[in-house]
Homo-oligomer: A and B are copies of this chain.
Amino acid sequence: MTSAPPLRAVLFDIGDTLVRAAVPGTPVAHLRAEPIGAARRELDALATSYRLGAVTDTTVMTERDVRDALSGTGLGELLEVIVTSVEAGRPKPDPVGLRLAMAHLGVAPEETLFVGDAPVDAAAAAAAGVAFAPVDGSAGEAVRAHLTARSGAFEAAARLVAPTDEHAARAARDHHGLLTKPAGSLGRLEDVGVQLAAIAGVDPPPRPRPAAVAVFAADHGVVAEGVSAWPQEVTAQMVANFVAGGAAVNVLAAQHDAAVTVVDVGVATDLGGLATGGSAQLRSCPVRRGTANLAREAAMTRDEARRALDVGAAIAHELVADGAAALVTGDMGIGNTTAAAALVAAFTGRTAAAVTGRGAGADAATLDRKVRAIESALARLDPGADALSILAEVGGLEIAALAGFVVGGASHRVPVVVDGVIADAALLVAAALCPASVAYAIAGHRSSEPGATAALGHLHLDPLLDLGLRLGEGSGAVAALPLVDSAALVLAQMATFDAAGVDACQA
Protein backbone atom coordinates (compact mmCIF):
# COMPACT_ATOMS: atom_id res chain seq x y z
CA MET A 1 0.00 0.00 0.00
CA THR A 2 1.32 3.45 -0.89
CA SER A 3 0.44 6.72 0.77
CA ALA A 4 -0.97 8.20 -2.44
CA PRO A 5 -3.75 10.78 -1.91
CA PRO A 6 -7.22 9.35 -2.23
CA LEU A 7 -8.48 8.86 -5.73
CA ARG A 8 -11.55 11.00 -6.50
CA ALA A 9 -12.06 10.77 -10.25
CA VAL A 10 -11.54 8.31 -13.08
CA LEU A 11 -11.46 9.54 -16.67
CA PHE A 12 -11.64 7.21 -19.65
CA ASP A 13 -10.69 7.26 -23.25
CA ILE A 14 -13.68 5.94 -25.22
CA GLY A 15 -12.71 4.16 -28.48
CA ASP A 16 -11.10 0.77 -27.73
CA THR A 17 -11.25 1.63 -24.03
CA LEU A 18 -15.00 1.64 -23.25
CA VAL A 19 -16.45 0.76 -26.67
CA ARG A 20 -15.17 -0.86 -29.83
CA ALA A 21 -13.75 1.83 -32.05
CA ALA A 22 -15.79 2.63 -35.13
CA VAL A 23 -14.33 2.00 -38.55
CA PRO A 24 -12.76 5.33 -39.57
CA GLY A 25 -15.06 7.23 -41.92
CA THR A 26 -18.30 5.84 -40.46
CA PRO A 27 -20.86 8.66 -40.74
CA VAL A 28 -21.62 10.15 -37.31
CA ALA A 29 -25.32 9.35 -37.61
CA HIS A 30 -24.48 5.68 -38.16
CA LEU A 31 -22.21 5.28 -35.16
CA ARG A 32 -23.54 2.69 -32.76
CA ALA A 33 -21.35 2.05 -29.80
CA GLU A 34 -20.69 -1.51 -28.64
CA PRO A 35 -19.37 -1.59 -25.07
CA ILE A 36 -16.28 -3.69 -24.45
CA GLY A 37 -17.06 -6.54 -22.08
CA ALA A 38 -18.91 -5.40 -19.00
CA ALA A 39 -17.89 -1.75 -19.34
CA ARG A 40 -21.29 -0.50 -18.20
CA ARG A 41 -21.27 -2.65 -15.07
CA GLU A 42 -17.66 -1.64 -14.35
CA LEU A 43 -18.51 2.06 -14.59
CA ASP A 44 -21.68 1.44 -12.59
CA ALA A 45 -19.50 0.05 -9.79
CA LEU A 46 -16.87 2.80 -9.99
CA ALA A 47 -19.53 5.52 -10.04
CA THR A 48 -20.40 4.76 -6.42
CA SER A 49 -16.83 5.65 -5.37
CA TYR A 50 -15.57 8.12 -7.96
CA ARG A 51 -16.56 10.97 -10.25
CA LEU A 52 -16.39 9.61 -13.81
CA GLY A 53 -15.70 11.31 -17.14
CA ALA A 54 -14.28 10.71 -20.59
CA VAL A 55 -11.71 12.40 -22.80
CA THR A 56 -11.80 11.26 -26.42
CA ASP A 57 -10.21 12.28 -29.68
CA THR A 58 -12.49 12.79 -32.66
CA THR A 59 -12.24 15.22 -35.49
CA VAL A 60 -15.98 15.46 -36.02
CA MET A 61 -17.95 14.78 -32.81
CA THR A 62 -18.97 17.04 -29.99
CA GLU A 63 -19.93 15.83 -26.49
CA ARG A 64 -23.53 15.78 -27.70
CA ASP A 65 -22.63 13.59 -30.71
CA VAL A 66 -20.69 11.17 -28.50
CA ARG A 67 -23.59 10.94 -26.04
CA ASP A 68 -25.93 10.19 -28.96
CA ALA A 69 -23.59 7.44 -30.17
CA LEU A 70 -23.44 6.00 -26.65
CA SER A 71 -27.23 6.03 -26.21
CA GLY A 72 -28.52 2.60 -25.33
CA THR A 73 -25.20 1.47 -23.87
CA GLY A 74 -25.88 2.95 -20.45
CA LEU A 75 -22.37 4.41 -20.49
CA GLY A 76 -23.28 8.01 -21.24
CA GLU A 77 -25.43 8.28 -18.12
CA LEU A 78 -22.44 7.26 -15.97
CA LEU A 79 -20.01 9.81 -17.42
CA GLU A 80 -20.50 13.21 -15.85
CA VAL A 81 -18.47 14.92 -18.49
CA ILE A 82 -17.26 13.97 -21.98
CA VAL A 83 -14.60 16.18 -23.53
CA THR A 84 -13.79 15.65 -27.22
CA SER A 85 -10.84 17.11 -29.07
CA VAL A 86 -13.35 19.18 -31.06
CA GLU A 87 -14.23 21.00 -27.84
CA ALA A 88 -10.69 20.92 -26.42
CA GLY A 89 -9.31 22.37 -29.62
CA ARG A 90 -6.35 19.98 -29.59
CA PRO A 91 -6.14 16.17 -29.61
CA LYS A 92 -4.22 14.02 -27.15
CA PRO A 93 -1.31 13.86 -26.27
CA ASP A 94 -2.11 17.52 -25.49
CA PRO A 95 -3.36 17.52 -21.87
CA VAL A 96 -5.99 20.19 -22.49
CA GLY A 97 -8.82 17.69 -22.75
CA LEU A 98 -7.91 16.04 -19.43
CA ARG A 99 -7.60 19.49 -17.81
CA LEU A 100 -11.03 20.55 -19.03
CA ALA A 101 -12.55 17.34 -17.66
CA MET A 102 -10.82 17.76 -14.27
CA ALA A 103 -11.93 21.36 -14.09
CA HIS A 104 -15.50 20.31 -14.80
CA LEU A 105 -15.36 17.70 -12.01
CA GLY A 106 -13.39 19.98 -9.64
CA VAL A 107 -10.62 17.45 -8.99
CA ALA A 108 -6.84 17.79 -8.91
CA PRO A 109 -4.46 15.75 -11.12
CA GLU A 110 -3.15 13.73 -8.18
CA GLU A 111 -6.73 12.75 -7.32
CA THR A 112 -7.38 11.55 -10.86
CA LEU A 113 -6.75 8.40 -12.89
CA PHE A 114 -6.88 8.27 -16.68
CA VAL A 115 -7.65 4.98 -18.42
CA GLY A 116 -6.82 4.53 -22.09
CA ASP A 117 -5.52 2.11 -24.66
CA ALA A 118 -3.14 4.20 -26.76
CA PRO A 119 0.30 5.78 -26.37
CA VAL A 120 -1.31 9.22 -26.83
CA ASP A 121 -3.51 8.50 -23.80
CA ALA A 122 -0.45 7.69 -21.68
CA ALA A 123 1.33 10.76 -22.98
CA ALA A 124 -1.62 13.03 -22.26
CA ALA A 125 -1.84 11.70 -18.71
CA ALA A 126 1.86 12.29 -18.17
CA ALA A 127 1.56 15.80 -19.52
CA ALA A 128 -1.39 16.51 -17.21
CA GLY A 129 0.32 14.98 -14.16
CA VAL A 130 -2.40 12.35 -13.93
CA ALA A 131 -1.88 8.65 -13.13
CA PHE A 132 -2.45 6.40 -16.12
CA ALA A 133 -3.89 2.87 -16.32
CA PRO A 134 -3.38 1.10 -19.65
CA VAL A 135 -6.27 -1.02 -20.90
CA ASP A 136 -5.45 -4.65 -21.44
CA GLY A 137 -8.79 -6.40 -21.65
CA SER A 138 -11.33 -4.12 -20.07
CA ALA A 139 -11.31 -0.62 -18.63
CA GLY A 140 -12.40 -1.99 -15.27
CA GLU A 141 -9.47 -4.40 -15.14
CA ALA A 142 -7.13 -1.49 -15.91
CA VAL A 143 -8.62 0.35 -12.93
CA ARG A 144 -8.28 -2.81 -10.81
CA ALA A 145 -4.58 -3.12 -11.61
CA HIS A 146 -4.04 0.53 -10.67
CA LEU A 147 -6.08 0.34 -7.47
CA THR A 148 -4.44 -2.92 -6.43
CA ALA A 149 -1.02 -1.31 -6.62
CA ARG A 150 -2.35 1.82 -4.89
CA SER A 151 -4.32 0.28 -2.04
CA GLY A 152 -4.38 -3.50 -2.27
CA ALA A 153 -6.40 -6.21 -4.00
CA PHE A 154 -9.31 -6.04 -1.56
CA GLU A 155 -9.85 -2.31 -1.86
CA ALA A 156 -9.58 -2.59 -5.64
CA ALA A 157 -12.15 -5.38 -5.73
CA ALA A 158 -14.54 -3.57 -3.41
CA ARG A 159 -14.57 -0.53 -5.72
CA LEU A 160 -15.44 -2.77 -8.67
CA VAL A 161 -18.47 -4.51 -7.17
CA ALA A 162 -21.44 -3.34 -9.19
CA PRO A 163 -25.07 -3.73 -8.25
CA THR A 164 -26.45 -6.85 -9.89
CA ASP A 165 -28.31 -6.29 -13.15
CA GLU A 166 -32.02 -5.82 -12.50
CA HIS A 167 -32.77 -5.70 -16.21
CA ALA A 168 -31.25 -9.14 -16.77
CA ALA A 169 -33.02 -10.41 -13.66
CA ARG A 170 -36.37 -9.28 -15.02
CA ALA A 171 -35.60 -10.86 -18.39
CA ALA A 172 -34.83 -14.18 -16.69
CA ARG A 173 -38.01 -14.00 -14.59
CA ASP A 174 -40.09 -13.32 -17.71
CA HIS A 175 -38.24 -16.06 -19.57
CA HIS A 176 -39.18 -18.54 -16.85
CA GLY A 177 -42.83 -17.72 -17.47
CA LEU A 178 -42.51 -18.89 -21.09
CA LEU A 179 -40.92 -22.26 -20.39
CA THR A 180 -42.92 -25.50 -20.60
CA LYS A 181 -43.82 -25.86 -16.93
CA PRO A 182 -46.31 -24.34 -14.53
CA ALA A 183 -45.23 -20.85 -13.45
CA GLY A 184 -42.85 -21.02 -10.52
CA SER A 185 -42.82 -24.81 -10.46
CA LEU A 186 -39.03 -25.02 -10.41
CA GLY A 187 -39.03 -23.22 -7.08
CA ARG A 188 -35.61 -22.20 -5.83
CA LEU A 189 -33.99 -23.22 -9.11
CA GLU A 190 -35.89 -20.35 -10.73
CA ASP A 191 -34.70 -17.88 -8.09
CA VAL A 192 -31.11 -18.98 -8.53
CA GLY A 193 -31.43 -18.72 -12.31
CA VAL A 194 -32.71 -15.18 -11.94
CA GLN A 195 -29.84 -14.39 -9.58
CA LEU A 196 -27.30 -15.85 -12.02
CA ALA A 197 -28.74 -13.67 -14.79
CA ALA A 198 -28.54 -10.63 -12.51
CA ILE A 199 -24.94 -11.48 -11.65
CA ALA A 200 -23.84 -12.05 -15.25
CA GLY A 201 -25.99 -9.27 -16.68
CA VAL A 202 -27.50 -11.52 -19.32
CA ASP A 203 -30.32 -14.03 -19.76
CA PRO A 204 -29.87 -16.92 -20.12
CA PRO A 205 -26.93 -16.71 -17.75
CA PRO A 206 -23.72 -18.61 -18.49
CA ARG A 207 -23.22 -21.95 -16.76
CA PRO A 208 -21.24 -21.65 -13.52
CA ARG A 209 -18.66 -24.06 -14.88
CA PRO A 210 -15.84 -24.57 -14.35
CA ALA A 211 -16.07 -23.64 -10.71
CA ALA A 212 -12.95 -23.14 -8.61
CA VAL A 213 -12.75 -23.94 -4.91
CA ALA A 214 -10.33 -22.06 -2.67
CA VAL A 215 -9.72 -23.61 0.74
CA PHE A 216 -8.23 -20.94 3.01
CA ALA A 217 -6.33 -22.45 5.92
CA ALA A 218 -5.11 -20.79 9.09
CA ASP A 219 -4.69 -21.45 12.78
CA HIS A 220 -6.30 -19.86 15.80
CA GLY A 221 -4.58 -18.87 19.02
CA VAL A 222 -7.86 -19.41 20.84
CA VAL A 223 -7.24 -23.17 20.77
CA ALA A 224 -5.15 -22.46 23.93
CA GLU A 225 -8.50 -22.08 25.70
CA GLY A 226 -9.41 -25.70 24.96
CA VAL A 227 -12.16 -24.84 22.45
CA SER A 228 -11.53 -27.78 20.12
CA ALA A 229 -11.33 -31.53 20.49
CA TRP A 230 -8.68 -31.61 17.77
CA PRO A 231 -4.98 -30.75 18.10
CA GLN A 232 -3.78 -27.68 16.20
CA GLU A 233 -1.49 -29.83 14.07
CA VAL A 234 -4.58 -31.16 12.30
CA THR A 235 -4.86 -27.90 10.35
CA ALA A 236 -1.51 -28.59 8.66
CA GLN A 237 -2.24 -32.30 8.35
CA MET A 238 -5.49 -31.54 6.59
CA VAL A 239 -3.72 -29.08 4.28
CA ALA A 240 -1.48 -31.99 3.33
CA ASN A 241 -4.57 -34.14 2.86
CA PHE A 242 -6.13 -31.50 0.57
CA VAL A 243 -2.96 -31.31 -1.49
CA ALA A 244 -2.87 -35.10 -1.75
CA GLY A 245 -6.54 -35.18 -2.76
CA GLY A 246 -7.85 -37.33 0.09
CA ALA A 247 -10.32 -34.98 1.78
CA ALA A 248 -14.05 -34.72 1.27
CA VAL A 249 -13.73 -31.44 -0.61
CA ASN A 250 -11.32 -33.05 -3.08
CA VAL A 251 -13.72 -35.89 -3.80
CA LEU A 252 -16.71 -33.60 -4.24
CA ALA A 253 -14.79 -31.03 -6.28
CA ALA A 254 -13.44 -33.70 -8.62
CA GLN A 255 -16.99 -35.00 -9.05
CA HIS A 256 -18.00 -31.57 -10.34
CA ASP A 257 -14.83 -30.81 -12.32
CA ALA A 258 -13.86 -28.01 -9.95
CA ALA A 259 -10.20 -27.36 -9.21
CA VAL A 260 -9.15 -26.98 -5.57
CA THR A 261 -6.61 -24.38 -4.51
CA VAL A 262 -5.41 -24.54 -0.92
CA VAL A 263 -4.26 -21.19 0.43
CA ASP A 264 -2.09 -20.99 3.54
CA VAL A 265 -3.08 -17.65 5.09
CA GLY A 266 -1.56 -18.49 8.44
CA VAL A 267 -1.10 -22.14 9.36
CA ALA A 268 0.90 -22.39 12.61
CA THR A 269 2.67 -25.65 11.75
CA ASP A 270 5.45 -25.61 9.17
CA LEU A 271 4.18 -26.86 5.81
CA GLY A 272 7.65 -26.97 4.29
CA GLY A 273 7.76 -30.69 3.70
CA LEU A 274 4.55 -30.79 1.70
CA ALA A 275 4.82 -32.74 -1.51
CA THR A 276 3.62 -30.77 -4.51
CA GLY A 277 2.11 -32.05 -7.70
CA GLY A 278 -0.85 -33.46 -5.81
CA SER A 279 -4.53 -33.14 -6.51
CA ALA A 280 -4.81 -29.54 -5.28
CA GLN A 281 -2.54 -26.55 -5.78
CA LEU A 282 -1.00 -25.10 -2.60
CA ARG A 283 -0.50 -21.34 -2.36
CA SER A 284 1.64 -19.93 0.43
CA CYS A 285 0.35 -16.51 1.50
CA PRO A 286 0.82 -16.46 5.26
CA VAL A 287 -0.04 -13.15 6.91
CA ARG A 288 1.13 -14.48 10.26
CA ARG A 289 1.55 -17.98 11.69
CA GLY A 290 -1.89 -18.21 13.27
CA THR A 291 -3.88 -15.60 15.16
CA ALA A 292 -3.34 -14.52 18.75
CA ASN A 293 -5.72 -15.90 21.37
CA LEU A 294 -8.88 -13.86 20.82
CA ALA A 295 -10.09 -14.68 24.32
CA ARG A 296 -7.25 -12.52 25.71
CA GLU A 297 -6.14 -10.08 23.01
CA ALA A 298 -6.86 -8.95 19.47
CA ALA A 299 -6.65 -11.93 17.11
CA MET A 300 -4.62 -9.78 14.71
CA THR A 301 -3.89 -6.17 13.84
CA ARG A 302 -6.06 -4.16 11.45
CA ASP A 303 -3.21 -4.23 8.99
CA GLU A 304 -2.98 -8.01 9.19
CA ALA A 305 -6.71 -8.27 8.68
CA ARG A 306 -6.43 -6.04 5.63
CA ARG A 307 -3.61 -8.17 4.22
CA ALA A 308 -5.68 -11.32 4.73
CA LEU A 309 -8.58 -9.63 2.90
CA ASP A 310 -6.09 -8.88 0.10
CA VAL A 311 -5.03 -12.52 -0.09
CA GLY A 312 -8.62 -13.60 -0.61
CA ALA A 313 -9.36 -10.95 -3.20
CA ALA A 314 -6.15 -11.71 -5.06
CA ILE A 315 -6.89 -15.44 -5.16
CA ALA A 316 -10.39 -14.74 -6.49
CA HIS A 317 -8.87 -12.52 -9.18
CA GLU A 318 -6.40 -15.20 -10.22
CA LEU A 319 -8.97 -17.98 -10.31
CA VAL A 320 -11.33 -15.94 -12.48
CA ALA A 321 -8.44 -14.91 -14.72
CA ASP A 322 -7.68 -18.62 -15.07
CA GLY A 323 -11.20 -19.27 -16.29
CA ALA A 324 -13.35 -19.92 -13.23
CA ALA A 325 -17.00 -19.12 -13.93
CA ALA A 326 -17.96 -19.55 -10.28
CA LEU A 327 -16.07 -19.48 -7.01
CA VAL A 328 -16.58 -21.73 -4.03
CA THR A 329 -15.50 -20.89 -0.49
CA GLY A 330 -13.60 -23.45 1.53
CA ASP A 331 -11.90 -23.26 4.91
CA MET A 332 -9.73 -25.23 7.29
CA GLY A 333 -8.59 -24.13 10.72
CA ILE A 334 -8.80 -25.95 14.03
CA GLY A 335 -10.68 -23.57 16.33
CA ASN A 336 -12.30 -21.56 13.58
CA THR A 337 -15.89 -22.15 14.63
CA THR A 338 -15.01 -20.12 17.74
CA ALA A 339 -13.81 -17.14 15.70
CA ALA A 340 -16.76 -17.50 13.32
CA ALA A 341 -19.24 -17.51 16.19
CA ALA A 342 -17.58 -14.40 17.67
CA LEU A 343 -17.97 -12.59 14.34
CA VAL A 344 -21.57 -13.71 13.97
CA ALA A 345 -22.35 -12.45 17.46
CA ALA A 346 -20.61 -9.14 16.78
CA PHE A 347 -22.31 -8.52 13.43
CA THR A 348 -25.80 -9.79 14.27
CA GLY A 349 -26.00 -8.56 17.86
CA ARG A 350 -26.74 -12.01 19.26
CA THR A 351 -25.21 -13.44 22.40
CA ALA A 352 -22.23 -15.78 22.28
CA ALA A 353 -24.35 -18.59 23.68
CA ALA A 354 -26.96 -18.14 20.95
CA VAL A 355 -24.55 -18.53 18.07
CA THR A 356 -22.01 -21.03 19.37
CA GLY A 357 -22.21 -24.71 18.49
CA ARG A 358 -20.23 -27.87 18.84
CA GLY A 359 -18.20 -27.42 15.66
CA ALA A 360 -16.29 -30.54 14.76
CA GLY A 361 -17.29 -32.48 17.85
CA ALA A 362 -17.03 -30.36 21.01
CA ASP A 363 -18.47 -31.84 24.19
CA ALA A 364 -20.47 -29.82 26.72
CA ALA A 365 -17.40 -28.62 28.64
CA THR A 366 -15.66 -27.59 25.43
CA LEU A 367 -18.79 -25.79 24.28
CA ASP A 368 -18.83 -23.91 27.57
CA ARG A 369 -15.19 -22.88 27.10
CA LYS A 370 -15.99 -21.70 23.58
CA VAL A 371 -18.84 -19.51 24.81
CA ARG A 372 -16.66 -17.99 27.55
CA ALA A 373 -13.80 -17.31 25.13
CA ILE A 374 -16.19 -15.57 22.76
CA GLU A 375 -17.76 -13.54 25.56
CA SER A 376 -14.28 -12.34 26.61
CA ALA A 377 -13.52 -11.32 23.04
CA LEU A 378 -16.82 -9.52 22.51
CA ALA A 379 -16.37 -7.62 25.77
CA ARG A 380 -13.32 -5.88 24.29
CA LEU A 381 -15.17 -4.55 21.25
CA ASP A 382 -16.00 -0.87 21.20
CA PRO A 383 -19.69 -0.37 20.51
CA GLY A 384 -18.78 1.78 17.53
CA ALA A 385 -16.02 -0.46 16.18
CA ASP A 386 -15.91 -0.61 12.38
CA ALA A 387 -16.04 -3.88 10.50
CA LEU A 388 -12.27 -4.08 9.98
CA SER A 389 -11.68 -3.63 13.72
CA ILE A 390 -14.21 -6.30 14.58
CA LEU A 391 -12.60 -8.67 12.07
CA ALA A 392 -9.13 -7.99 13.52
CA GLU A 393 -10.21 -8.25 17.14
CA VAL A 394 -12.29 -11.45 17.11
CA GLY A 395 -11.87 -12.96 13.65
CA GLY A 396 -9.48 -15.30 11.89
CA LEU A 397 -7.04 -15.07 9.04
CA GLU A 398 -8.85 -17.54 6.80
CA ILE A 399 -12.17 -15.86 7.58
CA ALA A 400 -10.74 -12.51 6.53
CA ALA A 401 -9.38 -14.08 3.37
CA LEU A 402 -12.79 -15.59 2.66
CA ALA A 403 -14.41 -12.17 2.99
CA GLY A 404 -11.90 -10.86 0.49
CA PHE A 405 -12.58 -13.83 -1.75
CA VAL A 406 -16.33 -13.12 -1.80
CA VAL A 407 -15.75 -9.47 -2.66
CA GLY A 408 -13.18 -10.48 -5.26
CA GLY A 409 -15.64 -12.81 -6.96
CA ALA A 410 -18.37 -10.17 -6.87
CA SER A 411 -16.00 -7.67 -8.47
CA HIS A 412 -15.66 -10.08 -11.39
CA ARG A 413 -19.44 -10.61 -11.61
CA VAL A 414 -19.24 -14.35 -10.96
CA PRO A 415 -21.39 -16.21 -8.44
CA VAL A 416 -19.70 -17.12 -5.17
CA VAL A 417 -21.14 -20.25 -3.61
CA VAL A 418 -20.60 -20.06 0.13
CA ASP A 419 -20.25 -23.03 2.44
CA GLY A 420 -21.10 -23.29 6.13
CA VAL A 421 -20.69 -21.23 9.26
CA ILE A 422 -17.11 -20.08 8.61
CA ALA A 423 -18.04 -18.73 5.19
CA ASP A 424 -21.27 -17.29 6.57
CA ALA A 425 -19.24 -15.32 9.13
CA ALA A 426 -16.95 -14.16 6.33
CA LEU A 427 -19.99 -13.11 4.34
CA LEU A 428 -21.09 -10.93 7.25
CA VAL A 429 -17.68 -9.25 7.09
CA ALA A 430 -17.96 -8.85 3.31
CA ALA A 431 -21.46 -7.41 3.69
CA ALA A 432 -20.23 -4.85 6.21
CA LEU A 433 -17.22 -3.83 4.11
CA CYS A 434 -18.89 -4.02 0.68
CA PRO A 435 -22.67 -4.40 0.91
CA ALA A 436 -23.17 -4.90 -2.83
CA SER A 437 -21.12 -8.09 -2.74
CA VAL A 438 -23.84 -10.08 -0.97
CA ALA A 439 -26.00 -10.20 -4.10
CA TYR A 440 -23.29 -12.33 -5.73
CA ALA A 441 -23.36 -14.93 -2.96
CA ILE A 442 -25.33 -18.15 -3.16
CA ALA A 443 -25.62 -20.01 0.13
CA GLY A 444 -24.75 -23.61 -0.67
CA HIS A 445 -25.55 -25.35 2.57
CA ARG A 446 -27.04 -24.67 5.97
CA SER A 447 -24.39 -25.66 8.50
CA SER A 448 -25.78 -27.27 11.62
CA GLU A 449 -23.89 -24.63 13.68
CA PRO A 450 -26.38 -22.16 15.18
CA GLY A 451 -24.22 -19.25 14.03
CA ALA A 452 -24.85 -20.23 10.42
CA THR A 453 -28.59 -19.78 10.72
CA ALA A 454 -28.12 -16.48 12.55
CA ALA A 455 -25.76 -15.18 9.85
CA LEU A 456 -27.88 -16.36 6.94
CA GLY A 457 -31.00 -14.89 8.50
CA HIS A 458 -29.21 -11.58 8.96
CA LEU A 459 -28.19 -11.64 5.30
CA HIS A 460 -31.61 -12.88 4.08
CA LEU A 461 -30.02 -15.89 2.42
CA ASP A 462 -31.66 -19.30 2.16
CA PRO A 463 -29.24 -22.16 1.49
CA LEU A 464 -29.84 -24.63 -1.30
CA LEU A 465 -28.94 -27.66 0.81
CA ASP A 466 -29.68 -28.69 4.37
CA LEU A 467 -28.06 -32.09 4.74
CA GLY A 468 -26.67 -31.85 8.25
CA LEU A 469 -23.12 -31.30 7.04
CA ARG A 470 -20.77 -29.77 9.58
CA LEU A 471 -17.41 -30.36 7.98
CA GLY A 472 -16.36 -27.12 6.36
CA GLU A 473 -13.63 -27.34 3.69
CA GLY A 474 -16.22 -26.02 1.24
CA SER A 475 -17.92 -29.41 1.16
CA GLY A 476 -21.48 -28.11 1.43
CA ALA A 477 -20.96 -25.44 -1.20
CA VAL A 478 -19.33 -27.85 -3.63
CA ALA A 479 -22.20 -30.29 -3.13
CA ALA A 480 -24.60 -27.51 -4.16
CA LEU A 481 -22.77 -26.71 -7.41
CA PRO A 482 -24.84 -28.98 -9.67
CA LEU A 483 -28.01 -27.22 -8.48
CA VAL A 484 -26.55 -23.85 -9.43
CA ASP A 485 -25.66 -25.34 -12.78
CA SER A 486 -29.19 -26.72 -13.15
CA ALA A 487 -30.57 -23.24 -12.55
CA ALA A 488 -28.55 -21.90 -15.49
CA LEU A 489 -29.24 -24.87 -17.74
CA VAL A 490 -33.04 -24.77 -17.53
CA LEU A 491 -33.00 -21.15 -18.69
CA ALA A 492 -30.62 -21.95 -21.52
CA GLN A 493 -32.12 -25.20 -22.73
CA MET A 494 -35.81 -25.66 -21.89
CA ALA A 495 -38.41 -25.26 -24.64
CA THR A 496 -41.03 -22.50 -24.51
CA PHE A 497 -44.77 -23.22 -24.68
CA ASP A 498 -44.87 -21.70 -28.15
CA ALA A 499 -41.93 -23.62 -29.54
CA ALA A 500 -43.07 -26.94 -28.07
CA GLY A 501 -46.74 -26.53 -29.01
CA VAL A 502 -47.87 -27.02 -25.42
CA ASP A 503 -51.09 -25.30 -24.28
CA ALA A 504 -50.65 -22.82 -21.46
CA CYS A 505 -52.47 -22.97 -18.16
CA GLN A 506 -56.13 -21.93 -18.36
CA ALA A 507 -56.18 -20.46 -14.85
Stretch at the interface among A68-76, A148-156, A475-483: A475-483
Q: Is the CB of B252 within 8 A of A486?
A: yes
CB within 8 A of A180: which of B241, B466, B501, B503?
Answer: B241
A4 interfacial contact with B, CB 8 Å: no
Residues of B within 8 A of A182 (CB): 230, 360-361, 470-471
A459 interfacial contact with B, CB 8 Å: no
Q: Is the CB of B469 within 8 A of A189?
A: yes
User: Taking CB as reference atom, which chain B residue is nearest A471?
Assistant: B185
Q: Is the CB of A471 within 8 A of B238?
A: no
Bound Cα distance from A178 to B157, whole angstroms: 41
Task: Knowing A255-B482, A482-B256, A506-B230, say if A240 contacts B469 (CB, 8 Å).
Answer: no
A500 → B minimal CB distance (Å): 5
Q: Is the CB of A490 within 8 A of B252?
A: yes
A497 → B minimal CB distance (Å): 9
A464 interfacial contact with B, CB 8 Å: yes
A21 interfacial contact with B, CB 8 Å: no
Q: How many residues of A contact B (CB 8 A)?
A: 64
Residues of B within 8 A of A238 (CB): 180, 502
Interfacial residues of chain A within 351-409, with CB under 8 A of chain B in the complex: 360-363, 366
Q: Is the CB of B185 within 8 A of A229?
A: no
A65 interfacial contact with B, CB 8 Å: no
A89 interfacial contact with B, CB 8 Å: no
Stretch at the interface among A32-40, A43-51, A242-250: A242-250
Q: Is the CB of B471 within 8 A of A248?
A: no
Bound Cα distance from A171 to B222, whole angstroms: 37
Residues of B within 8 A of A485 (CB): 255
| Identical copies in the complex | 2
A123 interfacial contact with B, CB 8 Å: no
Q: Is the CB of A246 within 8 A of B499?
A: yes
Over the window 444-469 of chain A, the binary record of Cβ atoms lying under 8 Å from chain B Cβ atoms (1 yes, 0 no) is 00001000000000000000111111
Q: Is the CB of B246 within 8 A of A180?
A: yes
Task: Knowing A486-B255, A506-B229, say if A248 contacts B501 (CB, 8 Å).
Answer: no
A28 interfacial contact with B, CB 8 Å: no
Q: Is the CB of B469 within 8 A of A247?
A: no
Q: Is the CB of A234 within 8 A of B503?
A: yes
CB within 8 A of A469: which of B187, B466, B502?
Answer: B187
Bound Cα distance from A14 to B394, whole angstroms: 70
A239 → B minimal CB distance (Å): 10
Q: Is the CB of B471 within 8 A of A503?
A: no
15 A-B pairs in the complex with CB atoms less than 8 angstroms apart: A181-B471, A182-B230, A182-B361, A185-B360, A187-B448, A187-B467, A189-B467, A237-B503, A241-B495, A245-B495, A247-B500, A251-B486, A255-B489, A464-B467, A467-B483
